[in-house]
Structure 1
Amino acid sequence: MSKQPPIVIAESVYDAIANLIDERAEDAITQALSAELDRARIVTDKRLPADAVTIGSQVSFTVAATGKTFTYVLRLPRQISDPSVDLSVLSPVGSALIGLRQGQQIDWTIGAGKRTSITVTQVDAPIAA
């Protein structure tokens, strides 16, 4: 695996995701998400850069394996109201996106051991659930 890019997460989001992981049975996604939390730089909510992907961010990203670009709002599972626009932080791609900044790329497992690169192309301010 190549070196992963630095990530930044707001304290409140870190706490919400850590609690979510604690409440769930351990699986590949919770393990990967936990590893992301462990390596993240944690900042106060006010100091989170505007271009950092956080819960509620509308994020556009390109998946190298398909060459397709997608746009979703990253959400906690309980916040998802429309799967056509909302992406769970507990999904393979959602767990890869948290904490990335616009322009960053990450190599990630997206299912059944399949790896790809995901590049964040745009991040818009958080949208309330």
Structure 2
Amino acid sequence: MIGGLLGCINVFLAMNSYSLQISFHLHFLFDALRAGIFEEIFFRMFLFALCLHITQSTCLNHTQVILSYFIMVLPHVLLHNSFSIDMMSVAILSLLFGLPFALMSRKINLLTAIGAHSFVDFIRFIMLGI
């Protein structure tokens, strides 16, 4: 459900720059899975594991938790928003997309974050062709 909601929001936000080109190609599914799996493993699991390694603890204090979320969210958002570093766009994308995936990964499990992320990308590919 979260992936579907975020996918619709993603398409709505992108409609300012792209027109709807609804189509289905099987490679959209594989591209979405590839992006979801790689990005969630690298940007969430690996970077969170790096945070735990740096702090040498599995129990983070409040400040460390907030910093770990920044570390898990900002590089991913900057990668997807590399064409312009508008702070408002970075903040909105971080709150709408990066933070929910990081929370899913940390609070539920990595597979849930991978599924939601892949679904968001799949919806974007089908609706916009990008």
TM-score bracket, shorter-length normalisation: under 0.3
TM-score, length basis structure 1? 0.26
Higher strand share: 1
Bigger RCO of structures 1 and 2 (CA < 8 A, at least 6 apart): 2
TM-score by length of 2: 0.26
Higher helix share: 2
